[in-house]
Every structure is written in structure tokens, then in C-alpha cells.
Amino acid sequence: MEPQRKDIWIVVTGASRGLGEALCLGLAKKFGDGLMIVGMARSEEGLKKTAGKVNEINNKTKFVPIVMDLSSAETEGFSKALDLTFNREGASGSPRRALIIHNAGSLGRLQYLRDQQDLNHANEYFRLNISSVISLNAIFLDYMKAHHPKTSLEVVNISSLCALQPFKSWGLYCAGKAARDMLFRVLAAEETDITVLSYAPGPLDNDMQATARTSTADQELRSAFASMKDEGKLLSCEESVRKFLEILDKKKFKSGDHVDYYDEL
């Protein structure tokens, strides 16, 4: 009889900084030995820093960096990267559990829709924030089901309140987040044997919020973000990751659900 595997494989996109880095550190702290984190990001230097911090938390966690720009990557690139990584690093067998966390994303131009005339920018935005997610997700699921059919699979979409509510001058971001939520709801309906979650991490005190406070075209919204910072109402990435891991543990959500940091489960 084949022994029960304890290994866990987790792919995290946007792993070089901010919430992506915090996710890698929180996962290393929680799972430690037997965990392989595959961190994907554009920045090689950022991934090296994340790897170093993961090693400080638990040197038994394996961190595998993949330097890749999701906004320009092709299907073949995704497939080759995952195939080589899993075959090389996971050569000892199948993991008990495998997750992919789609964290990478961008704000796009924070302009009113009447000013969004640049078709190339819109296409580039949706390629990074939607098209690459569809492709990478499909390749991950296809690989795991073909090579590790007994592995428990989980797919996480890092969402936002913007998926549910309109924010003036954030049309691209709201549309991208809403589209991703629906894609993952459809995935949950199609793939009833996997666990799907869209997690909205709350208002984070990170680079994205700093950009929002200075670049948002709508003055009312820009002032609201500034007030949240001044009043200490922004969350640390570490605190949001803590809540995320708690939600994953409890599994009180229905597959495909959108769960916010502030939701009580």
C-alpha cells in the first residue's frame, strides 16, 4: 500500500512583494516541513528576498522561484514552467494537497471611463488580470489531474470589494475583479471535486493603497483612501493572511463563494 503523502504544493502569483510575499510567509509558518511554494513574479530580486524570508521562518519549506511576466507570458511558457518545476522539485511523488493562489494583479489607470480611450492599455490590463489567470489556472488543473489524480485541489482568487461595488474612476479594476469572481464561480460549478474560493483581503496598507491615495482621479474616493490611512483603518498584509488561512481551515464557505476579510464565518 502506498504511504499517505503529507506534502503540500502551493503556487502563489505576485509572490515578490506585498500580499503575495505575506502569503508565502504565512504559508511557510503554518505548514513548514513538506511544503513547496512555487512563487511566480516578474522581479527576480523580489523573489530572492521572499525566498530568504521564507527560509528564515522555516528552512524545511522549499521555495521555488519562477521569474515570469504574466502580462506577456504565453500558454507554452506557463505549461513548461509548471511542468519542469513539479517534475524536478516534486520528483518523490504526489502531494496530499495542492493549491494555486492567483494574487498577481494591477490597478490599471485610475481614470473615469469617459477618459479610458487607450485600447492597448485596456487589452494589456485584461490580459494580465483575466486572460493569464484563465490560462494558468487551466494548465495547473490539467497537470495536477493528469499526473496526481488523488491530490486534493484548491483554487484561490484574490478578489476585492471592487468585485461587488462600483468605485468611481476604478472601472478597469472593478471590471477585472468582477470578471474574475464570476470565472471562479463558473469553475466551482464545473469542477465539483475541487475547492474554489474568492477572498477579498480588505483595505491593505501596501503599495497599491499608496498609489490609490495619489493617483485616483475621483477626488472623493482619493480623500476616503487618505482618511483610512490617517485614521489607521488599513490592514497589514500579515493580518489579512492570518484571516485567509483561518477561512481555509474552517471551510465554512461554499465552493465558488466570495468571502471578505470582514465576513464572519
pLDDT tens for 107-148 read 999 999 999 999 999 999 999 999 999 999 999 999 999 999
Helix axes 75-89, 132-147, angle to 10 degrees: 40
| Residue 265 forms part of a structural domain | no
- What's the pTM? 0.94
The answer to whether residue 120 is domain-embedded is yes
> Is 251 a member of any domain?
yes
Grid cell of 35 as nine digits: 511544503
CATH code for position 24: 3.40.50.720
Q: Which residues span the domain enclosing 61?
A: 8-260
Cell of 43: 522581479
d(CA 78, CA 162): 28
Grid cell listed for 64: 521555488
Instruction: Confirm whether 191 is domain-assigned.
Output: yes
What confidence score (pLDDT) does residue 4 get? 44
Helix axes 44-57, 18-31, angle to 10 degrees: 30
CA dihedral over 240, 245, 248, 251, signed as positive or negative? negative
Q: What is the pLDDT of residue 111?
A: 97
Q: Which residues contact 71 (CB under 8 A, 6 or more apart)?
A: 124, 127, 128, 132
Strands (DSSP E) found in the chain: 8-13, 35-41, 62-67, 97-102, 152-158, 195-200, 258-260
Kindly tell me the burial class for residue 45, based on how many C-beta atoms sit within 10 Å of its own C-beta (0-12, 13-18, 19 or more). Answer: exposed
List 258's β-bridge partners, or say none: 198
The reported pLDDT for the residue numbered 92 is 66
The residue ranges of the chain whose pLDDT is under 70 are: 1-6, 90-92
Beta strands at 35-41 and 8-13: parallel, antiparallel or unpaired: parallel
Domain tally, the chain: 1
Domain for residue 156, yes or no? yes
Task: Count other C-beta atoms under 10 Å from residue 5's C-beta.
Answer: 16
State the SS3 of 17-81. CHHHHHHHHHHHHHHCCCEEEEEEECCHHHHHHHHHHHHHHCCCCEEEEEECCCCCCCHHHHHHH
Structural domain contains residue 2: no
CB 180 within 8 A of CB 159: yes
Cα separation, 178 vs 262, whole angstroms: 18
Task: Answer yes or no: is 109 within a domain.
Answer: yes
Question: According to the model, what pLDDT value does residue 265 have?
Answer: 76
- In a domain, residue 3? The reply is no
